[in-house]
Structure 1
Amino acid sequence: MNISAITRAGAAGMIVSGAALGYSYVAHPHHMTPETIAAPFWIVIHALFALSLALGLLGTTALYGISAARAGGRGLAGYILLFFGMQLIFGLNYYEVLIAPFLAANYSQVIMEHGAGDAMGPVAVFFPLAGALTVAGYALLGWGWMRGEVIPRPVALALIVSSLAFGIGLSPLGGLMTARVTAAAFGASLVAVGIAAWRRPFASVAIA
């Protein structure tokens, strides 16, 4: 594969990832009762989350790998942070798609006591940490891409600002509506990165 093909493959992954992420957060059920978690819609929403994570990480890896020299140390630090953050989030998504619905249907008391899993034991620590690593990573990567002139400055700024805003939305300072709005904005910024990369394949930045 040539650089143009790799860039467009990564760009496509970012576009689908951002769209799936934004929709999933906006449509995510608010009341996480056993009945809600056992329903097909719950599985669909979290399968979309998993798709967003998988394609987002693949797309980001493709685009970062090509532009690593221009992204510099900030880009490298950002990529490392988001890589581990998204791996941790995917682990919880695996549980939410394949395990939580089974527990909700057959052992509802577990769900009533511990919720969907994000507050279950050590997960209560590692899930927020995973979110923080991911949004901080994308903010740093966006900064590296902006300094290296890899993607247009407005797109890079949108990625940086929306990443940090999403982090606030996911924190105790945020709330349900804040999390949904900032998630939609973050998803839109990933789509914008994908569109920018699709329009301008990275051949010119890969050898810098």
Structure 2
Amino acid sequence: MTKWVEILYSIYDENGNLLESTQEEVIIPLGYNILHKEIEDKLASSEYGKEYNFLLKKPFGSRDSNLVKIIPVSEFYNRNINPVINLVVNVDGSIGIVRSVNSGRVLVDFNHPYAGKDLLYVIKLNREVTDLKEKISGLLAIIYNVTRKNIEVNIDDNNKKISINIKDLDLNKEQKEIIKKFISEIKDYNIE
């Protein structure tokens, strides 16, 4: 069975610049490489209540110039998207960041934002999470970038039903199935 943990973390680049930091505790399943395989492997056997530093050399690989594409601005307008610098876009299933918009052309970078960087992860490992509601709300908070307090989970064990309410978000059938892939304990439940 997958081990779930509650953590706080910050990520710094090689120059000590803060790139990302949690504002509230995050609940994650270990073994799915949500953070990084090397980190999750070490956290699985680490002591709770302690802070750990992990320095990773280019964990997202080197930057690849072939992943920087020029796309006609008309492609964006046809999809009702106004391309502006730093806009995160989904182009045919690939996530990229608009780097420039000039003369009817849009430069989109499909490299991971941290590609080419050495990263320092500072992680406080708070506790193991065993409560099913916490696992579900924790996973949804990560996937949809919402705070856990905006997620309500009710579990009816007798009828094998789970109802989920997320403020300003409705889950479709595919999204509900994703939850079951991460949390094996609910594979036989109906998610409403």
TM-score past 0.5 threshold: no
Structure (1 or 2) with the greater helix fraction? 1
What band does the TM-score fall into relative to the shorter chain?
under 0.3
| TM-score between both structures, scaled by the size of structure 1 | 0.22
Structure (1 or 2) with the greater strand fraction? 2
